[in-house]
Structures are given as C-alpha cells and as structure tokens.
A = this chain, B = another copy of it.
Amino acid sequence: MSNCIVAQSGGPTSVINATVAGVVKANQLNPIYEHVYGGLNGIEGILAERFVDLTNMSEEENHILQQTPSSALGSCRYKLKRDNVEDFQKLMDVMDKHDVETLFYIGGNDSMDTVAALSEYAANNGITDKRFVGCPKTVDNDLMHIDHCPGFASAAKFIAMTALQTWLDVNVYPASRKEVFILETMGRDAGWLAASACLSEKIDVLILPEQPFDKDVFLKRVSECVEARSKCYVVVSEGARYADGTYISAGESKNDLFGHAVLGGAGEALKSMIIDSGVAPRCKVQDLSTAQRSHASEQSYVDRAEAYRLGQSAHMHSADKSFTGQMVALRRREGESYDVEYFTIAASEVANYVKNFPEEWILPEYRGISEEAFAYLRPLIDGTPYIIYKNGLPAHVEPYYLR
C-alpha cells in the first residue's frame, strides 16, 4: 500500500481543516493508503519534504481539528509555473521517495491550476502512478461550477451576525444624533461576502464590486436613510470600484491635493465622501479584516459538514487509479428543502475563472439583494456545530507546521 499527502494553500478559512479531517477519517474507515501525510506549507513545504503523519489521528483531535480555523498544515503563495520543469520533476521525485501516490490539494483558483498543471505534467511525461486531486475552499465563493465554496458560508454567517449586532449598537442613540455606520468585508473581485450581510435584514446600502460605483447615487441613498430615521447602515466590499475599474479605496480625499493616497480601504473612502459632503456629521467604519475568515467558534454547520464530506469524497474517488486532475465539488439539488450532491470536475475548468455575484440579484440604487439571492444564501448559514471549549476558549489544534 502506498501513501498520500494532503496539503493546504492560499488564504485560510474557518473550515479548511475540516477537509483535512475528512481525508484522514475516510482513510481510517476505508484504508486506501498506508500513511496519510500532511504536507506543511503547501507545495513549498512538500518540495522541502516537510511532512507530518496524520494517519492515526484520534477521534478527539479530528473533532478539534474541524473547529480550528486557518490552515493547520500551513499555507503558501508559491505557484508552480508551467515552464518550471525543475520544480515539477522535484515534486515527482519527492512523491517517489516517500511512496506517495496521491496529492490532495485544498485551495482556491490558483491551487486548482496547480492540480491541473501537475496532472498535465504527469500525463505528458508518462507518469501514470500518481494522482493529483483538488479540494475547493475560499471565503470569496468565487469558484466556477461549484454551488458554493467551503469556507464561504461560515464567513458569511459571521458577517451577517456582526452586521446585526453592530446595527443594534449604532442605533441606540436618539434621533437627534445622525450617524452612518460602514461595515467593510473581504471580496476583491466578487461581492458574495458583502452581500451575505443582507441576511441580517438590517442593511440600508450595499456596495459590491460587480456594480460600478456612482458617488452621487450613493450619497443620495445615504441621505434618504439619514433623513428618514437619522441612521444609515452601509456594507461595502473591499473591491468596490468605479466604472473605469479604479478601486474606490484608491483615491478621493481632501488630501489628494497633496498627492497622498487615502489610508485605509473602501470603508474609509466612503466615510470621507459622507463627511465631506455633509450628508451626516458622524460616520464609523468597521473593517472585518482577518476576523471574518478566522471566526470558527460559530462556523456554519452546513459549511463545516460539507467541507468534511468533500475531504471524504476526494479520498473515496482517489481509489480509482485514473482519477487525477479533478476537483471534488457539490451542486444543489432541486426541491423544497436544502440538499446537495457531490460530483467531480476537471480542475482546469475551475482554475483561473471567477464566479461573480449575479448582476440580476443586485437591487438598483444600492438597496441590497433580491429574493433569489436570499433563497441561495439562507440555507448555507444554518446551524452551529458543537464546539469543545478549553479554559473558556474554543479548543484548537496547535499548528502542525510549528511543531
């Protein structure tokens, strides 16, 4: 029996470890591989032969791993370039040396490109004893062909929750105090995360990268809200941009005169517009930053369960010796209640594409999202898994890459 490696790449999510846990548990239940190695820091660490043996992980560690946010195996931003034959061959040699048949690579767009490139290299060089399998993850929810990406729903739930909670906070002062609150979310190219704030049902103004930003329309809408009830709650994606593609975070400030870029992101840029125009005298910005992809103590149950099952699914499919260059995925079943089915697709079909938030789901004048969008998003944030606590905080697995 040969071995497999599971590794993680790109930005972490709060359920990316659940996929590792799924691969490990699947092999305990149905041993296809003698050893399940964790490759540390993605391709970069695998090339340096940095492994940890996960084969006999205990039930308890498996559970705690699933509730531990961020990549417990470490990550990398290292991208295998197709003309870098040396790295490709080095990786094949490392796999040979450790008798590794299958590499499971958990990641987003770039990682699926790596999976595709590795399987192409193997095919082109007559290497038939190795398989390269992609497992999807990204808080951005921008992968093609998959209904939604593991990691997205937990971040969406935290964002919706925080929108509700901070909306309750910003409204407490009397109507004499006119005030705008701006919540900034991740999403450089796709507006999925920002849109998910609408699940709070408290959002007055929503600005997504998919919709060219128009300052006048924005200020008019904020002004209407402030006039109507003295407060206005705005959600903006970090990637919000003008029609010409310029990010709104890139300019537009009193200080432009001196040639200084505005510090901060899209939220701070909107704040400047609001204050400068006199639409409201007070404006507060909350940038959710790293916390939104790390908040694992309130993972979506659906998200974590699906991330785990995708790991199991990848392991199961890899019993087929011809299964390579593929990504495991899920699609939503038709019907009244939420359900998904698992399938597989060529990693090359996923790599280097971006799935935007559908334009037809965006309401005009920054008024939020359509009922179709709500119907898509709502089931994804359902439930919270049982979390094991230790000393008052969620228990976590110490990162394998630091051991």
Cα distance A248–B191 in the bound complex, in angstroms: 35
How far does the Cβ of A11 sit from chain B's closest Cβ, in whole Å? Answer: 8
Q: Which residue in B69, B77, B199, B287 is a CB contact (below 8 Å) of A173?
A: B77
Is there a chain B Cβ closer than 8 Å to A111's Cβ?
Answer: no
Q: Which of A12, A165, A255 has the most CB of B within 10 A?
A: A165
For window 246-296 of A, CB contacts with B under 8 Å fall at: 255, 258, 260, 262-264, 268, 284-291, 293-296
Please determine whether A381 and B393 come into contact, CB atoms closer than 8 angstroms: yes
Partner of A378, one of B74, B169, B391: B391
Q: Are A172 and B75 in contact (CB under 8 A)?
A: yes
Assuming the contacts A255-B260, A378-B391, asked whether A70 and B173 have C-beta atoms less than 8 A apart, the reply is no
**Which residues 28-56 of A sit at the B interface, judged by CB distance below 8 A?**
41, 44-45
> Given A258-B258, A268-B263, A287-B287, are A396 and B168 also a contact pair (CB < 8 Å)?
yes
Residues of chain B within 8 A of A396, CB atoms compared = 164, 168
Instruction: Give every chain B residue within 8 A of A165 (Cβ-Cβ).
Output: 14, 69-70, 291, 294-297
Looking at chain A, what size class is its interface with the partner chain?
Answer: 35 or more
- Interface residue from B14, B157, B298 paired with A298 (Cβ < 8 Å): B298
A286: B residues at CB distance < 8 A: 287, 289-291
Residues of B within 8 Å of A335, CB to CB, are: none
Per the bound structure, the CA–CA distance linking A396 and B287 in Å amounts to: 23
Kindly provide the distance from the CB of A193 to the nearest chain B CB, expressed in whole angstroms: 15
A290: B residues at CB distance < 8 A: 166, 169-170, 181, 284, 286
A284-B186 Cα distance, complex, nearest whole Å: 14
Interface residues of A in 55-97 (CB under 8 A from B): 68-72, 74-77
- Given A173-B74, A260-B255, A384-B389, CB of A168 within 8 Å of CB of B41: no
Tell me the smallest distance from the CB of A294 to a CB of chain B, in Å.
4
Q: Mark A79-119, 1 if CB is under 8 A from B, else 0.
A: 00000000000000000000000000000000000000000
On whether the beta carbons of B41 and A173 are closer than 8 Å, the reply is yes
Chain B residues, CB < 8 A from A300:
392
Decide yes or no whether A223 CB sits under 8 A from chain B: no
Within the assembled complex, what's the spacing in Å between the Cα atoms of A275 and B105?
Answer: 34
One complex includes copies of this chain to the number of 2
On chain B, the residues within 8 Å of A364 by CB distance are: none
Among A74, A157, A391, chain B packs the most CB atoms within 10 A around the CB of A391
Contact B284 A161 (CB under 8 A): no
A399 interfacial contact with B, CB 8 Å: yes
Q: Could you say which of B72, B160, B172, B393 contacts A161, with CB atoms under 8 Å apart?
A: B393
Specify which of B169, B293, B402 is in contact with A293 (CB 8 Å cutoff): B169
Task: Let me know if A126 is at the binding interface, CB within 8 A.
Answer: no
Q: A165-B296, A260-B255, A298-B298 are in contact. Are A75 and B392 (CB under 8 A)?
A: no
A344 at the binding interface (Cβ < 8 Å): no
A199 and B393 within 8 A (CB): yes
- Is there a chain B Cβ closer than 8 Å to A200's Cβ? yes
Instruction: Write out the residue numbers on chain B whose beta carbons fall within 8 Å of the beta carbon of A288.
Output: 291
Q: Does A171 contact B (CB under 8 A)?
A: yes
In A291-313, which residues have CB < 8 Å from any B CB?
291, 293-298, 300
Contact at B399–A392, with CB atoms within 8 Å? no
3 tightest A-B CB contacts, nearest first:
A165-B294, A70-B168, A381-B392
Interface of A with B (CB < 8 Å)? 8, 12, 14, 41, 44-45, 68-72, 74-77, 157, 160-162, 164-166, 168-174, 181, 199-200, 255, 258, 260, 262-264, 268, 284-291, 293-298, 300, 378, 381-384, 389, 391-394, 396, 399, 401-402
